[in-house]
Structure 1
Amino acid sequence: MCTCAMYHTKDHYFGRNLDLEFSYQESVTITPRNFPIPFRQEGSMNNHYALIGMAFVCGGFPLYYDATNEFGLSMAGLNFPGNGYFFKPESDGKDNISPFEFIPWILGQCKNLNEARALLDKIRLVDIPFSKELPITPLHWMIGDQSGSIVVESVRDGLHIYDNPVGVMTNNPTFDKQLFRLNDYRGVSAGPSENTFAKGLDLDPYSRGMGGIGLPGDLSSGSRFVKVAFTKMNSISNDDEDSSVSQFFHILGSVEQQRGCCDLGDGKYEITIYSSCCNMDRGIYYYRTYDNSQISAVDMHHEDLDGRDLVSYTLVTKQQINQIN
């Protein structure tokens, strides 16, 4: 499964963990403004805003997992099994967009959340797979800009758009239920715990961090939502770039998955294949991978954003160790 988050210091940051048991050989991919993006039902978008993000480039098409455009509007798709539902295309004036086209459709045309909301008012997410080898994946999405974020879920009774006051998202259940579950943890805190067990009973705060007792620590999506929301909303860092990026990866690290802890059977284990952090204001995409703890960075503004060709950077996956002696 996966986790997505936003974080603000002096600048604004958006990123995610991709948790899966296999990789599609994804790469950091820049889609410049004049790269033609064909849509199955809505023609081709030949001029659009530039994007940077993580994508599996298949047949020349960037299948984005997460991306940020040149204005900072950001978007990530996370697995939504059992809930995600997509409809048949109809000719009723709505835009028929397949889930694999959704990220470039929104980020290619919208500068901010207000523009994204306007586009969402006339969209239908449709059941059109990329290919026979790549069928439809049930997804839902978090979209954010420098002002906040929303969650978009296409389910059997239609398209739901939720305001996201915590700036995080995981997988199941639906976002409204995940958000409601935070009520169960209203008593936890980052500070020392208060003795409210019973009057007259002297209980000793024998350890630091006892205010967080009760926070879930398992790898289920509901538990990860609670843990990453608590971590993110209590996080403090300096506002320089290095400190902010470092803190963002620590936030994601609070719910990362280690090989062996999520056993899928047949020798398969879900792991955090990569973690990402994009500076939404500067267009710098940072990432690290399961076997490479070093943070790597790609700056979209170091490329020709008026070009017509995709620019892709293969992930650095081999561990980079600074040998001291």
Structure 2
Amino acid sequence: MCTSLSYEALDGTKFLARTMDFAFELNGKPTFLPRGYNWLSSLDNKTYNSSYAILGTGAKYGHNYMVADGFNEHGLACAELYFDHEAVYEAAPEEGKINLVSEEFILWVLGHNKSIAELRKNLEDVRIIDSDAGVMGANQPLHWIVTDRTGATYVIEPRGQGLELEEDKVGVMTNTPDYQWHKTNLSNYLGVQTTNFQGMKFGNQEVEKLGQNGTFRLPGGFTAVDRFVRESFVHEVVQKPNTASEAVNTIMHMFDTVRIPKGVNVKDNNTISYTQYEAVLDITNCVMYYTPYSNRTVYKIELTPEMINSGIEPKEFSVDFEQQVKSLN
């Protein structure tokens, strides 16, 4: 359960942003991975060496720091989203290919590609293997949203015939069903509008509108389908921000329509799926904004030239998980 979007301010600043909605406590924090970061494939213990510095939301599991979303020093950004019942991976590793489990894919994307164009070419060499060998244990069904400084946005979905890179012209992604289904389903909501529907006559009865009613057709649940429709509508009609700073605020307001409070979504095993954090990634200026569930403070972390050129060790940035309040008297 997650919602993601790409976005652009009027000044040209590009963003990738997401809510992380999950039941298992991921303990993700803003995390820096330097150039040359070595990580081990869970399938064959092969060592991969990242060519580019990465900033994203991560945590250390076993030998590796894993990231669920982030960007690299060249502005390529990626986020993973749950894709239950739809993800079809390869049955076995293929000789001569880059064989990974699903949760390692972002490390490869951000560590070895500068742009969507380069990713498209290199993606042919990658195989995601159906395996429980990953750090999360059971095989994780995932799909991914990627964007770069051109603003082009794509969805990567595993369909059992390699990895498919499909343009996301809506600029929004959630969970199962697949992107094509979500895009087609938007046809059912063409009547949604920002302005009022006016009164009309039923027989001899004049019926007047009761307050603002243009958005009454929008679905109100927290399913992936409902969230995709709501976020797509808001993404399209929200007042465009002028600057990067204004865009961060705008994106967080956009996420107000899909953020899941604790207790609203309870899984079959009685665990609670909720929005553990929001991450807003300014890929033009290499800045990450992070807000945990328990503290609405917005934390800002910049991928500085010093970090890019001189950083040699991974770093987790500390955040306060208790709500901070600014007193005015």
What is the TM-score of this pair, normalised by structure 2?
A: 0.90
Within 5 A, what are the aligned runs for 1:26-175? 26-39=28-41, 40=43, 43-91=46-94, 93-131=96-134, 134-146=137-149, 147-156=151-160, 158-175=162-179
Say whether residues 1:292 and 2:262 are aligned partners: no
For 2:25 and 2:211, locate their aligned partners in 1 and report how far apart those are by CA, in whole Å.
Answer: 41
Relative distance call for 1:132 and 1:71 in structure 2 (3 A) is: closer
Q: Is the 8 A contact 2:200 2:207 kept in 1?
A: no
Q: CA RMSD in A?
A: 2.4
Structure 2 counterpart SS, 1:293: coil
| 2:261 aligned residue (258, 261, 264) | 258
Paired position in structure 2 for 1:188:
192
Structure 2 counterpart SS, 1:217: coil
For 1:197 and 1:51, locate their aligned partners in 2 and report how far apart those are by CA, in whole Å.
Answer: 60
Say whether residues 1:244 and 2:247 are aligned partners: yes
For 2:136 and 2:264, locate their aligned partners in 1 and report how far apart those are by CA, in whole Å.
Answer: 29
Relative distance call for 1:131 and 1:213 in structure 2 (3 A) is: closer
Structure 2 counterpart SS, 1:314: coil
Say whether residues 1:282 and 2:297 are aligned partners: no
C-alpha offsets along residues 177-205 of structure 1, whole Å, 9 cap, x if unaligned? 01110000011112233568889975433
Paired position in structure 2 for 1:324:
328
| 2:21 aligned residue (19, 22, 36) | 19
What is the TM-score of this pair, normalised by structure 1?
A: 0.91
Number of aligned residue pairs: 324
- What residue ranges of structure 1 are gaps of 5+ in the alignment? none
Q: Is the 8 A contact 2:126 2:162 kept in 1?
A: no
Q: How far does residue 76 in structure 1 lie from its aligned partner after superposition?
A: 0.6
Q: How far does residue 295 in structure 1 lie from its aligned partner after superposition?
A: 0.7
Q: Is the 8 A contact 1:94 1:124 kept in 2?
A: yes
Q: How far does residue 91 in structure 1 lie from its aligned partner after superposition?
A: 3.5
> What letter matches 2:190 in structure 1?
R
Deviates more, 1:270-279 or 1:105-114: 105-114
- What residue ranges of structure 2 are gaps of 5+ in the alignment? none
Deviates more, 1:22-31 or 1:35-44: 35-44
Structure 2 counterpart SS, 1:257: coil
C-alpha offsets along residues 9-56 of structure 1, whole Å, 9 cap, x if unaligned? 021111111112231222211111122233345943335111110012
Q: Is the 8 A contact 1:36 1:308 kept in 2?
A: no
Deviates more, 1:259-268 or 1:100-109: 259-268
